[in-house]
Amino acid sequence: MTELTRVNTDREIATMEKTLVIRNLHVNVEDKEILKGLDLELEKGKTHAIMGPNGSGKSTLSYALAGHPSYEVTAGEVLFEGQDILEMGPDERAQAGIFLAFQYPMSIPGVSMANFLRSAVNSVRRARGEGDMRVPEFRKKLTERMAALKMDRSFMGRYLNEGFSGGEKKRAEILQMAMLEPKLAIMDETDSGLDIDALRVVSDGVNTLKGDDMTVLVITHYQRLLNYIKPDYVHVLMDGRIVTSGGPELALELESRGYDWVRAEFAVPA
Amino acid sequence: MALTEQQLTTSEDQYEYGFHDEEAPLFKSKRGLSAEVVTEISKMKNEPQWMLDFRLKALKYFEKRPMPQWGGGGMLNEIDFENIFYYIRPSDRPEQDWDDVPDYIKVTFDKLGIPEAEKKFLAGVGAQYESEVIYHNLQKDLEDKGVIFLDTDSALQQYPDLFREHFATIIPPNDNKFAALNSAVWSGGSFIYVPEGVHIDLPLQAYFRINAENAGQFERTLIIVDKGAYVHYVEGCTAPTYTTNSLHSAVVEIIVKEGGRCRYTTIQNWSKNVYNLVTKRAAAYKDATMEWVDGNLGSKLTMKYPAIYLMEPGAKGEILSVAFAGHGQHQDAGGKIVHVAPHTTSTITSKSISKEDGRSSYRGLLKVHPEAEYSKSNVRCDALLLHENSRTDTYPYIEIENDRVDIGHEATVSKVGEEQLFYLMSRGVSEADAYSMIVTGFIEPIAKELPMEYAVELNRLIQLEMEGSVG
């Protein structure tokens, strides 16, 4: 619990409302421990970035939070808005308001974007005891959100991620996020494979959505994305733990100095 | 994730159309098959002597032919031919006027939604209830164009020459054991004649349904599309659930003359105790097009391979086949294309899905005669396995007897991946919905060829199948 205490005192956020509280999270993948007692608190409405070198456990964290069945939680707890989510399936977590923008979204042949989005939106609404969204309302919202992401209308008839370019896939992820309006958006290496124009569009999309109601967790290897999605807090993940946290300046420091100094300073085994 | 009570219910209990009426038929033949029963059927129908002779000859073929041991394998040996009623007539004549249809039959059709469907979509309805067509309605303008759309028994009486000229010319009674059985005891089915140059814009539609326990249903359909004419015929099947096995053995013959086009669409959803053994074959002549769209969801065992003979240059054939094999089911489906003439083209697209211990097989024949030079064919079959114990087999028979052909063949087998399921579920979609979304997407290339209400029904049936399969 030492890191947690330090985060609280350093950033003086102890009294702020938390969207997500992770305590001592241990996660195995194929019987190998990847997360080794990770602690993290996400402040409501803020943008947190997790940076770390390859193999530090960044993607494992995002999959474990979203509830992937192959990521086995062996210890710890994850509280989302005060509720333990570890026993919940991925669909229930999404219904509760957690969204993961995938690094490598799957393609689903034969399922059109429009049909998929409507199913997803209505699944979430039903779980919350709301009725299905009426078709005209859905169309209107979809058209607006697509325009904001500079997506052509023809996307609606295309099959989900099938034959999409890297940039199209990322845009489609943000569109899903925009339609589902989650309380917590986890972005797993969203910048990978994006050229500068696509990066700007995707970032604008996220920036429009984030705010009082949406907390963002950006997981990235490089600082580049953080020029566009400005974090309030930066956390460094190494060897399965958050080893230090700070403000946006920490990201710049990592960019200029690399990760080795962190390793040395916080005695992380290489 | 805990199972809900609904998910724990077995799929058999959920069979949506598994209601049945108290029977009140006017006539029911004895159980079992004999020359006496066949003669009785023919006499009941006031058939001409040639048809009785045809039936009796077919009965001999049926008795002589051994039971096929391929396809369904040993399952066919379980059929007890002596314990089947070969003819039942619930009302004494076909009805044109809905008001005259007996109430208990109307109730059954209401549950199937037929009157509503008719209002919206149909140009004409022939609905076969047990062994006789009892409701038949053809829009006036089709009649004025000379289109004939009758139950097959009435067509034999009203158009004896046209009938005899074409009947059993595509599928002879000795073609196979079950075609022989159908030829001996056939009853009902649809007879369609589309005169030269006539385009029927809306699909013609008929529902078939087995309703009496142990009532075999042996409908016989004959469609003649004259030069330059067009028709889309849609056949849908649902049947109630019973504890003993039922047999459905139909014969469908189609003739498409020069420049004509015929599309024949079926979605069969027989209850899971029905043996569905059907022979379907079409002959396409010069520049004619024949298309089979064949969906198999129900039955215990289906053996069905719609066939197209491309008889003259320019003829085209297309077969789209979808099979869904759930728990305890075996779908042995596919298609046959025979290129008889040069410059003919064909495609076969098959999509099969196996759930739990369900088994689906693609069985296809592509044959190109020595004369059929410059022919083109493309065969594609994709299988999707939902569970570890699901099974699929592919039997693509290809016989090419000349070198000047362009043949493509591709087969894939895929499993529903954990990553795909996780991706969909991470958007709030339940596991059952994620499965049905993947399955629906898999068959989409074929579903989009169906009339709208059929595509909707197909997707709904698959959703029903997917509920209760997750746990």
**In this complex, do B428 and A180 lie within 8 Å of one another by their Cβ atoms?**
yes
Bridge partners (DSSP) of residue B150 are B191
Per-residue pLDDT, averaged over B101-122, amounts to 50
Chain B residues within 8 A of A120 when measuring between CB atoms: 424, 427-429
Residues 6+ apart with CB under 8 A from B97: none
Model pLDDT for residues A211-251, shown as the tens digit of each residue: 778 999 999 988 888 999 999 999 999 999 999 999 999 99
Q: Are B308 and B346 in contact (CB under 8 A)?
A: yes
**In this complex, do A94 and B422 lie within 8 Å of one another by their Cβ atoms?**
no
Chain A residues within 8 A of B444 when measuring between CB atoms: 109-111, 159
- Check CB contact of A105 with chain B, cutoff 8 Å: yes
Q: Please name the amino acid found at residue B169.
A: T
The answer on pLDDT for A117 being more than 90 is yes
Assess if residue B445 is contained within a domain. no
Q: Between A95, A110, A119, which is nearest B444 by CB? A: A110
Calpha distance B337→B349 (Å, rounded): 12
Calpha distance B13→B28 (Å, rounded): 29
- Check CB contact of A157 with chain B, cutoff 8 Å: no
- Check CB contact of A116 with chain B, cutoff 8 Å: yes
Q: Determine the distance in angstroms separating the CA of B428 from the nearest CA of chain A, rounded to an integer.
A: 4
Chain B residues within 8 A of A127 when measuring between CB atoms: 428
Calpha distance A126→A144 (Å, rounded): 23
The strand pair at B220-225 and B246-248 is best described as unpaired
Q: Determine the distance in angstroms separating the CA of B117 from the nearest CA of chain A, rounded to an integer.
A: 23
Assess if residue A270 is contained within a domain. no
Calpha distance A54→B65 (Å, rounded): 69
Number of domains in chain A: 1
Q: Where are the alpha helices (DSSP H) in B323-430?
A: 418-425
List the Cα angle B430/B436/B441 in 5-degree steps. 125
The strand pair at A108-112 and A159-160 is best described as antiparallel
Assess if residue B17 is contained within a domain. no
Torsion of CA A25, A26, A30, A32, to 10 degrees: 140
Model pLDDT for residues B360-397, shown as the tens digit of each residue: 999 999 999 999 999 999 999 999 999 889 999 999 99
Assess if residue A154 is contained within a domain. yes
pLDDT at B22: 62
**In this complex, do A106 and B438 lie within 8 Å of one another by their Cβ atoms?**
no
Assess if residue A237 is contained within a domain. yes
Q: Please name the amino acid found at residue B377.
A: S
CATH of the domain at A40: 3.40.50.300
Q: Are B213 and B88 in contact (CB under 8 A)?
A: no
**Structure token pair of residue B173:** 């009674």
Assess if residue A15 is contained within a domain. yes
Exposure string over B223-245, b if 16+ CB within 10 A, otherwise e: bbbbbbbbbbbbbbbbbbbbeeb
Residue B133: domain span: 25-426
Assess if residue A208 is contained within a domain. yes
Predicted ipTM? 0.92
A124 compared with B29, residue with greater pLDDT: A124
Residue of B427, B456, B463 to mutate, interface with A, max A Cβ within 10 Å: B427
Q: Please name the amino acid found at residue B352.
A: S
Assess if residue B64 is contained within a domain. yes
Assess if residue A216 is contained within a domain. yes
Q: Between B420, B429, B441, which is nearest A91 by CB? A: B429
Assess if residue B391 is contained within a domain. yes
Q: How many helices (H) and strands (E) does chain A have?
A: 9, 12
Chain B residues within 8 A of A164 when measuring between CB atoms: none
- Check CB contact of A64 with chain B, cutoff 8 Å: no
Q: Determine the distance in angstroms separating the CA of B290 from the nearest CA of chain A, rounded to an integer.
A: 25
**What is the band of A22 on the pLDDT scale with cuts at 50, 70, 90?**
very high
**Structure token pair of residue B235:** 């056949």
pLDDT at B216: 53
**In this complex, do A119 and B437 lie within 8 Å of one another by their Cβ atoms?**
yes
**What is the band of B255 on the pLDDT scale with cuts at 50, 70, 90?**
very high
- Check CB contact of B441 with chain A, cutoff 8 Å: yes
Assess if residue B444 is contained within a domain. no
Assess if residue B20 is contained within a domain. no
Percent of chain A scored above 70 by pLDDT? 93
Per-residue pLDDT, averaged over B261-290, amounts to 92
Number of domains in chain B: 1
Calpha distance B149→B96 (Å, rounded): 12
**In this complex, do B428 and A116 lie within 8 Å of one another by their Cβ atoms?**
no
Calpha distance B207→B289 (Å, rounded): 24
**In this complex, do A110 and B1 lie within 8 Å of one another by their Cβ atoms?**
no
In chain A, residues 121-150 whose CB comes closer than 8 Å to chain B:
123-124, 127
Assess if residue A40 is contained within a domain. yes
Calpha distance B267→B320 (Å, rounded): 12
**What is the band of B213 on the pLDDT scale with cuts at 50, 70, 90?**
very low
Q: Between B426, B437, B443, which is nearest A66 by CB? A: B426
Task: Tell me the pLDDT of chain A averaged across its residues.
Answer: 90
Chain A residues within 8 A of B384 when measuring between CB atoms: none
Percent of chain B scored above 90 by pLDDT? 57
Residues 6+ apart with CB under 8 A from A130: none
Assess if residue B434 is contained within a domain. no
Q: Between B422, B428, B431, which is nearest A68 by CB? A: B422
Assess if residue A221 is contained within a domain. yes
Per-residue pLDDT, averaged over A114-120, amounts to 95
Nearest CA in chain A to B446: A110
- Check CB contact of A96 with chain B, cutoff 8 Å: no
**Structure token pair of residue B34:** 């004999």
Residue A100, φ and ψ in degrees, nearest 5:
-115, 120
**What is the band of A209 on the pLDDT scale with cuts at 50, 70, 90?**
confident
The answer on pLDDT for B283 being more than 80 is yes
